[in-house]
Structure 1
Amino acid sequence: MPGTPYAVNDVMTRTVVAVHGGAEFKDIVRTMRRWRVSALPVLDSDNRVIGVVSEADLLPKEEYRVRDQDPDPWRAARRPPDLAKADAVTAQKLMTSPAVTVGEDITLVRAARTMAHAKVKRLPVVDGEGVLKGIVSRSDLLRVFLRSDEDIADDVRREIATHLMAVPVQPIGVEVRDGVVTLTGRVRDTTLLPLVTRLVRAVEGVVDVHCALEGPLRRPNLDPDLPGSVGM
């Protein structure tokens, strides 16, 4: 979608493995193993996401399996949530809730920030009613960097060079190699260059920006004492 930021809807996985709240412990483990995933969205009867159950939520079952013989009696007292999960047998009791989710139309930048803030590797994607529509992972967010250099260059020329600098002193050159954008040419107003760099960097798939744009050539003042004679 040239000219518009990529959204979660553009990169998310639409076929999602999930479990309902009543799923039992061993069924959850089997599902994770079968589909080679480390976490599963947990749904209610209307397919709304109510939580996420991960390998970390399952591990207390093993960690505290012999807690009555634990030589450190203070450890159990310090971790009551893990003890509760050690005794749980269904997804609804094991899951982390509420789930951190994102909408289909949010940008990849916002999704990445949400993922980093929540310290999770994937996010369930939901509609306005909280119904599961897909899942977006770290690797999905990185897919924009697989865009071709030609596509990136087209976006830069259209959104930046054409609109922001409609009247350059000379044509603006846009070269993209492995996602790195190089801008060459001359512009009338060099104060815009920091803004140009930021805008180009915001184009989906751009890895870095080398801005080699320059201002207009100035003619030397050959006779500075001549009245009305100024440099151009």
Structure 2
Amino acid sequence: MHGTPHIVSDVMTRTVVALGRGATFKEIVKTMQQWRVSAMPVVEGETRVVGIVSEADLLPKEEFRDGDPDRHTQLRRLADLLKAGAVTAEELMSAPVVTVPEDATLAQAARIMALRKVKRLPVVDDAGVLRGIVSRADLLKVFLRSDEDIAAEVRETVVADLFPTRPEPIRVEVREGVVRLTGRIADTALVPVAARLVRAVEGVVDVECALTGPRRRPDLDPDLPDAASAAPPSEVTGTA
């Protein structure tokens, strides 16, 4: 379907810099600077992810470097104080680490990030082996799809399947990711279904569904007034 990315493996970064449990504090800082990353997974045996170290894990060492915290701070920020005294990746890392499988959908990955309040997720296979890393920015790549590509997918996977027969052609317009559907369909009960399916297409920002039912013909619908009786008295002419 036009190369639409649907799963994490489509957008993740595959070249990942990882740390061993024994990596030193200074080594971690140097590696982050060298590779311009703000977090790195910690692996065991060079493959299995056991934790993650981020800049936030390193900052307490600088924050508490020049003084002893008061009793209130000690009780409230015990975890940070422990990291302030850490010198290896094993002591600094957040564990157990939140990961995501390669075949997870982008929506599932986004949901995990939101619920767990993390900015990135190590991507692992069924054995927990590191395969890549996915960030918030990676998940937003789908919104870089062209309007033409989105429109083509909507026509082929929504309009063609949901409305195989229709009174008139359905027009699909996409501007800046906003999809607008116009035209007539046989069953207006399908309008909310169409809107939901279009919204599920990767890269869609919003949906404007202006689909209407078929034109009504008074001669075929006895409940509708005919043209003469529906016209105002001044417009009905004739001879006595």
Q: State if a TM-score over 0.5 links the two structures.
A: yes
Normalising by structure 2, report the TM-score: 0.87
- Paired with 1:215 and 1:110, the residues of 2 have a C-alpha distance of 36
Q: CA deviation at 1:132?
A: 0.7
User: Could you tell me which residue of structure 2 aligns to residue 141 of structure 1?
Assistant: 139
Q: Is the 8 A contact 1:51 1:98 kept in 2?
A: yes
Matched, 1:30 2:33: no
Q: Is the 8 A contact 1:221 1:230 kept in 2?
A: no
Matched residue count? 225
Q: SS state of the match for residue 217, structure 2?
A: coil
Q: Percent identity?
A: 63
User: Could you tell me which residue of structure 1 aligns to residue 129 of structure 2?
Assistant: 131
Q: SS state of the match for residue 172, structure 2?
A: strand
Q: Which moved more, 1:73-82 or 1:203-212?
A: 73-82
- Paired with 2:97 and 2:2, the residues of 1 have a C-alpha distance of 32
Matched, 1:61 2:61: yes
Consecutive unaligned residues of structure 2, counting only runs of 5 or more, are 226-240
Q: Which moved more, 1:108-117 or 1:2-11?
A: 2-11
The one-character-per-residue Cα deviations of 1:77-109 (angstroms, maximum 9, x if unpaired) are 332222221221110111000111101111111
Residues 1-232 of structure 1 aligned to structure 2 (within 5 Å) = 1-2=1-2, 6-68=6-68, 70=69, 72-220=70-218, 229-231=222-224
Q: CA deviation at 1:230?
A: 4.7
Q: Is the 8 A contact 2:151 2:173 kept in 1?
A: yes
- Paired with 1:76 and 1:158, the residues of 2 have a C-alpha distance of 60
Q: Is the 8 A contact 2:5 2:142 kept in 1?
A: no
- Paired with 2:153 and 2:6, the residues of 1 have a C-alpha distance of 12
Q: Is the 8 A contact 1:25 1:91 kept in 2?
A: yes
Q: SS state of the match for residue 115, structure 1?
A: helix
* Equivalent AA in structure 2 for residue 125 of structure 1: V
Q: Which moved more, 1:82-91 or 1:101-110?
A: 82-91
* Equivalent AA in structure 1 for residue 103 of structure 2: D
Larger Rg: 2
Q: CA deviation at 1:17?
A: 1.3
Consecutive unaligned residues of structure 1, counting only runs of 5 or more, are 223-227
| TM-align CA RMSD | 2.0
